[in-house]
Amino acid sequence: MSAFLTDHGVLIAVVSALVAVAYGVLTTTQLLALSPGNAEMQRISAAVQEGARAYLNRQYLVIGAVGVVLFIALLFIQDIYVAIGFAIGGILSGAAGYIGMNVSVRSNARVAESARSGIGPALKVAFRGGAITGMLVVGLALLGVAGYYGLLTSYFDQTPKEAVDALIGLGFGGSLISVFARLGGGIFTKAADVGADLVGKVEAGIPEDDPRNPAVIADNVGDNVGDCAGMAADLFETYAVTAVAVMLLGVLTFNEQTTVALYPLVLGAVAIIASIIGTFAVRSEKGNVERALYQGLAVSGIIAAIAFYPVTAWMMDGITFKSAAGAVAAPSVVSLYLCALVGIVVTALLFVITDYYTSTRFRPVRKTAEASQTGHATNIISGLAQGLQATALPALVLVLGVLCSWKLAGGGVQGIYGIGVAVMGQLSLTGLIVALDAFGPITDNAGGIAEMANMPEEVRNVTDPLDAVGNTTKAVTKGYAIGSAVLAAIVLFAGFKAELAAEGVVTSFPIDDPAILMGLLIGGMMVTLFAALSMEAVGRAGGMVVEEVRRQFREKPGIMDGTEQPDYGTCVSIVTASAQREMIIPSLIPIVLTTIVGLISVAALGGLLIGVIVVGFFFAVMMTAGGGAWDNAKKLIEDGAFGGKGSEAHAASVTGDTVGDPFKDTAGPAINPMIKVANIVAILIIPIIT
């Protein structure tokens, strides 16, 4: 069996990836066969589809222009194989987000229509819509990595090490799409949301998703391009980059290069099958939506955990560590298997912790809502405090995860490989995680369509609880994305050090070296500057939307009584143009500054990467958890707590939510790909800095 998996590991991975893609195609066909509702529902859904398509088309044109420049640069810095890998990664990442987004914007009306039959049918449609994106992400990521590796080793006679070097380019292609998609989509969605809330809710006193609000369609478009396409690109990149990083560490660490290169791909293959099985476990007879969703995640995790052991036993038994003294026994099968389980446990703990800090059921959100009773300032203070507190437990979980997997694998370089295996275990749940995240914008849009199309109250009684759970799943999946990004960055940094060592460059980074200390400070500065520019971009674009909505209310007084129609298209155009313009400079920070520092000093570059990882983790968690606390504090008050809608507490909570929007949906999530981009760029520029 060991020989079979080694000889056919690429085929197993490619077939499993194609099964995931086939699942996406089949489920899409079934979903689109459902009724999209009446003419008004279809009209609203079509407007959201048109806006989302226009935005992504324009975004990919901008990314394509940057990509062409980087493709040419890689031809000179690396070689044609790395450049082609870069193109493959970018195309597949873009395809996953684009297709998933298109399915998402077509699912919304079908969920609203299914809600006429109750929460069970609506849950099934909404989750299947998200699962399509999830399976496409893992399927296309594994297909790209395994397929390109097999092509290079089988048809171009490259060694496993040479093939993995080319795959780093593929990871960079995914990273480029990810940082632009996360940042551009985040600017779009939050600029529209801020504009819609400040004028609609606070000034005009109309409900969220009210069709009289000129920014309402832009807001619904933003949910999809930010949370659906953005998260898809983010986790496509994490999945592909981590698999490549573990392959790189394997071929640099162990003698059996082919086996250790294929091991993470076969783990990914069995995890995909486990994820597909897990999708069928998502069902609810009693209307407990959250339990139904996590039930599928648990089933997937258990099946993957069981399947990992035979794969590890068949492939990794007897591998030997590279050593000057000759072949040395590597970590045992049981040790490596336990490392994979550590990754699954870390995922579960991050889910629980993020849920605690962002759910209306627990103390942090309730404290922020309660603080809103004494004004806007106390709401802001409480939300910031919850965000800062929310960094402690995830940091400890990651510390323990790193320690356990490092120790289990034997410490030293072998221990770093154990951390890589743990991250692969964590990423075994990626398909379901993306499904849970895409579930959020689908249910949010479904509720909006129900509101705008004046559907019966019983429909809103179904879409509202689905939307509430969707807000929770969006928050917890961001926690997962941050944790996986940090662990992936640690593995990438280890790969960077190993590549430097192979070039004969000193790879020790003591903090008392002035060059390294300077690099640390620059790395931390990159994160804060990136976050600041992202927040400012949302503020500027949101201000333009506010002015446009005010203008329409002022010049078209008939909007409020229904005698005039608002101009939705202008708001969509404003945030589209603004997002494309504003995303370019922040997105180039991790590419340009990393390259400049690397050209000046390799030691400073090492310090920069450490600074980006550490500061980036704390900023990302603080911003996403704090933003989630502000968001759900507002929802708690809107559900009747502390005075309910129209109260002073509600007005304060809207302010907090407006501040938290760019925290949790723009700057915070975009830090994840930024961390990985810096590390990948560092590896790619090694030929010109050593």
Q: In sequence order, what are the residues at sequence separation of 6 or more whose Cβ sits closer than 8 angstroms to the Cβ of residue 185?
A: 59, 222, 225, 226, 227, 229, 230, 579
Which pLDDT score is estimated for 141?
Answer: 92
Over residues 441-471, the pLDDT tens digits come to 888 888 888 877 888 888 888 887 887 777 7
Contact between 621 and 394 under an 8 Å Cβ cutoff? The reply is yes
Contact between 272 and 19 under an 8 Å Cβ cutoff? The reply is yes
Over residues 53-83, the pLDDT tens digits come to 887 888 888 888 888 999 999 998 888 999 9
Which residue, 465, 418, 415, 411, is CA-closest to 115? 465
Over residues 601-610, the pLDDT tens digits come to 999 999 999 9
Reply yes or no on whether the pLDDT at 690 is more than 80: no
Which pLDDT score is estimated for 287?
Answer: 66
N residues, the chain: 690
Which pLDDT score is estimated for 615?
Answer: 95
Distance of CA 586 to the CA centre of its chain: 18
* Residue 4 pLDDT class (50, 70, 90 cuts): low
* Residue 551 pLDDT class (50, 70, 90 cuts): confident
Which pLDDT score is estimated for 404?
Answer: 93
The tokens for 600 are: 């000046």
Which pLDDT score is estimated for 326?
Answer: 56
Do the bridges between strand 320-321 and strand 328-329 make them parallel or antiparallel, or are there none, so unpaired? antiparallel
Over residues 268-294, the pLDDT tens digits come to 999 999 999 998 888 876 667 778 888
Which pLDDT score is estimated for 328?
Answer: 58
Q: Which of 194-203, 298-307, 359-368, 662-671 is least confident?
A: 194-203
Q: Is pTM, for the whole model, over 0.85?
A: yes
Q: What is the mean pLDDT of the chain?
A: 85
Q: What is the largest CA-CA distance in the chain?
A: 85
Contact between 578 and 488 under an 8 Å Cβ cutoff? The reply is no
Over residues 197-236, the pLDDT tens digits come to 777 666 667 766 677 777 777 777 777 777 777 778 877 8
Over residues 645-685, the pLDDT tens digits come to 878 888 898 889 888 888 888 888 889 888 988 999 998 89
Contact between 144 and 170 under an 8 Å Cβ cutoff? The reply is yes
Over residues 320-355, the pLDDT tens digits come to 877 655 555 677 889 999 999 999 999 889 888 988
Mean pLDDT, residues 537-565? 82
Over residues 484-504, the pLDDT tens digits come to 888 888 888 888 888 888 777
Using CA atoms, how far apart are residues 137 and 236, in angstroms rounded to an integer?
5
Which pLDDT score is estimated for 256?
Answer: 83
* 3-class state of residue 79 by DSSP: coil
Contact between 175 and 594 under an 8 Å Cβ cutoff? The reply is no
Neighbours of 214 (CB within 10 A): 28
The tokens for 689 are: 């800095």
| Distances, alpha carbon 44 to alpha carbons 449, 571, 678, in Å | 7, 15, 41
The tokens for 653 are: 């909570």
Which pLDDT score is estimated for 286?
Answer: 67
* Residue 611 pLDDT class (50, 70, 90 cuts): very high
Which pLDDT score is estimated for 431?
Answer: 86
Which residue, 35, 38, 41, 37, is CA-closest to 453? 41
Mean pLDDT, residues 403-426? 86
* Residue 1 pLDDT class (50, 70, 90 cuts): low
Reply yes or no on whether the pLDDT at 31 is more than 80: yes
Phi, psi of 332 (to 5 degrees): -70, 165
Please compute Rg for the chain using Cα positions: 24
Over residues 139-198, the pLDDT tens digits come to 999 999 999 999 998 888 888 888 888 999 998 888 888 888 888 888 887 788 777 777
